[in-house]
Amino acid sequence: MSTTLSITITICGCAILLSFITGLLTRNCSTVDRLWSILPPAYVLVWMKDFYHNPRFVIAAALVIAWGIRLSWNFGRRGGYAFSIKRGFIGEDYRWEHLRKRIPNRIAFELFNLFFISIYQLSLIFFFTLPLYIVGINDRPLGHLDIILFAAQASFLALETVADNQLFSFHRARKKPMHAGVKRYQAGFNTFGLWRYSRHPNYVCEMAQWVVVYAYAVSASGTLHWSGVGCLVLILLFIGSTVMTESITASKYPLYRMWQKACSPWLPFVDMIFRRNARRKFWKALD
């Protein structure tokens, strides 16, 4: 095993301990959320020492670093890095509080914190980044597929940025007095921009970027590779997260059940023809 790979495995192990201990001591489980956008760029920067001569790795790594900067910025503007001298980090994803209520037993929740929040998710971050290490150890020349993949990753990154900006702008706009009586804002969930065609366009673009990262490993090695397990498990995690997020949203906003019938959860246009009547009913309800 190379030294740089050993270093990143050690970083992953330390991150797991940090996440569990801070969650245990502070009852704030969002350490994993704060690390989510930091660890992949950290891993590729460590590996860069061995693979700086590999153009496929360097370009893909640069895009992952751009992904991390963008995601950190988006998380920060939503209060994810809010800090108090007395309490430490105080920003926490609302879903952890929801799960805390569903798992009221402290011991049971801390086991959940250890195995799911800390070990599972932080190991997953390592494994969906690992295809870039596979890219680095293979020196096949760049081909047409790589150019397509670079363009695809950059496009998905740009679209995710647009989707997150639209969501952020929506939540700011709905608090303004001028929108107090506007049903489309007061419905409580975004139906503007990309969100008009997909209930989770940001999730779609996020998953797609890591599928592309795996595709780099396929292009570099010339064969399907076991490291694809990382992006597959990530997709399963997003599916589970979507189910939980939507159950919370539907419990808060009555019209969301109608929107679930009217709009595809992920891929736009795929089933829109079958949702025409539901979409008409939904837009009529907003009139």
What are the average pLDDT values for consecutive 10-residue runs of the chain, which has 287 residues? 94 98 93 97 98 97 98 92 76 88 94 97 98 96 96 98 96 80 86 95 97 97 91 96 94 94 86 86 88
**pLDDT of 186:** 84
**pLDDT of 270:** 75
Q: Report how far residue 19's alpha carbon sits from residue 205's, in angstroms, rounded to the nearest whole number.
A: 26
Q: Report how far residue 233's alpha carbon sits from residue 229's, in angstroms, rounded to the nearest whole number.
A: 6
**pLDDT of 108:** 96
Q: Report how far residue 282's alpha carbon sits from residue 285's, in angstroms, rounded to the nearest whole number.
A: 5
**pLDDT of 80:** 84
**pLDDT of 81:** 84
pTM flag (> 0.85): yes
**pLDDT of 274:** 83
**pLDDT of 160:** 98
Please give the DSSP secondary-structure letter assigned to residue 192: S
**pLDDT of 6:** 97
**pLDDT of 30:** 93
3-state secondary structure of 228: helix
Alpha helices in 130-275 (DSSP H): 131-136, 144-173, 183-186, 201-221, 229-252, 256-262
**pLDDT of 259:** 95
**pLDDT of 176:** 82
Q: Report how far residue 72's alpha carbon sits from residue 64's, in angstroms, rounded to the nearest whole number.
A: 12
CA-based radius of gyration for the chain: 21
